[in-house]
Amino acid sequence: MKIIHGVHPDDFKSYQTALIRERFLIDNIVQPDQINCVYTHYDRMIVGAAHPVNKSVELENYPNLRAQYFLERREIGIINVGGDGEVIVDGQTFNVNKLDCLYAGKRVKNITFSSKDPQRPAVFYILSAPAHTAYPTTLLTHSNAAKVHIGNVATANKRTINKYIHLDGIKSCQLVMGLTILHEGSIWNTMPPHTHDRRMEAYFYFDLPDGQKVFHYMGEGDETRHITVNNYEAVVSPPWSIHAGSGTASYSFIWGMAGENLDYTDMDAIAIPDIK
C-alpha cells in the first residue's frame, strides 16, 4: 500500500507540478478485479477503490496496519460510482447501486465487493479512518441522501451536494462523506474556497467525459497551485489547503473528511478577492 506523508505549507510553496502530483495525487486505483488503497498521514485516512468486473474482490488486510484485519480499529465509507453492485458485510448482503453509500464500522471482519453485470461493472470508492467505537452497518441510497442545491448558472457553479455520512446522516466516529454533482454547463466546485484546520479532505473525481480534465486548486489561499486530474483520480488535501476545481466539462466528485469533528459547516471561508 502506497504511503503519502504530511507536507508543511512552507515547503509546499516551492513545489513544482511533478512534485505536487507525487505528494498529493492518487491515481491508478481503479483497476479491474482489484482493490487498491493508499495510506495517508493526514488523519490516517486510507483512500482506495474496488473494481470487481469478472469476479468478486475481498477487502484484505495490509501489513502496515499492524491489525488482525482491516477494520479492527477502523471504519469505512463506500460509494459506488459505476454500475449496480453488491457488497457483503460479515455475511449480510447490500445492494449498492450508482451513487449509493454504505458505511461499515469498527470490528467488521469481512467485506466483499461484486458487480451485478460485468458489462457495466461497479466502481466502489473507499475511504477509511481510525475509529474509537463501533457504529452499525448502514446503507443510504442516493435518493434518500440529504441534498443541498447551491450556485447558479451565471457563475458556472450550479451544483447539488449530497450528504451521506455526517452529523445528521449515517453515524460515524470521524468520517464525513458525500458527493457533489455539477449541472450541465457548470464547471466550478467549492468556489469561493475554504480551509478547515481541524480536518483533512480528499476529492475523488468521476463522471468526467473522456478527453476532459479537471484543474484542481490547492495550497494556502494566498499561495495557490494547481494540478490537472483525470476521471477516477483523487487528490489529498491537507487541513491548511484549499480544495477547489474547474473542469473543461461538467463532472462529479466525492468529498470525504476525517479529523476532530463531524460538523460539515466547520470551515474557514476565503473571499474570492483574497485568492492569490
Domain that holds residue 136: 2-274
DSSP state of 21: H
CA distance 220 to 241: 5
CA distance 10 to 228: 22
Q: What pLDDT score was predicted for residue 253? A: 98
Residue 265 reports pLDDT greater than 90: no
Three-class secondary structure of residue 162 per DSSP:
strand
Using one digit for the tens of pLDDT, what is the confidence trace for 11-64? 999 999 999 999 999 999 999 999 999 999 999 999 999 999 999 999 999 999
pLDDT for res 261: 86
pLDDT tens track for 177-232: 999 999 999 999 998 999 999 999 999 999 999 999 999 999 999 999 999 999 99
> How many domains does one find in the chain?
1
Question: Could you tell me how many residues make up the chain?
Answer: 276
63: domain CATH number is 2.60.120.10
211: CB partners within 8 A, 6+ apart: none
Question: What is the Cα–Cα distance from 85 to 115, expressed in whole angstroms?
Answer: 4
* pLDDT band at residue 111 under the 50/70/90 scheme: very high
C-alpha cell at 58: 475481498
**Model pTM?**
0.96
Decide if 46 contacts 37 (C-beta within 8 A).
Answer: yes
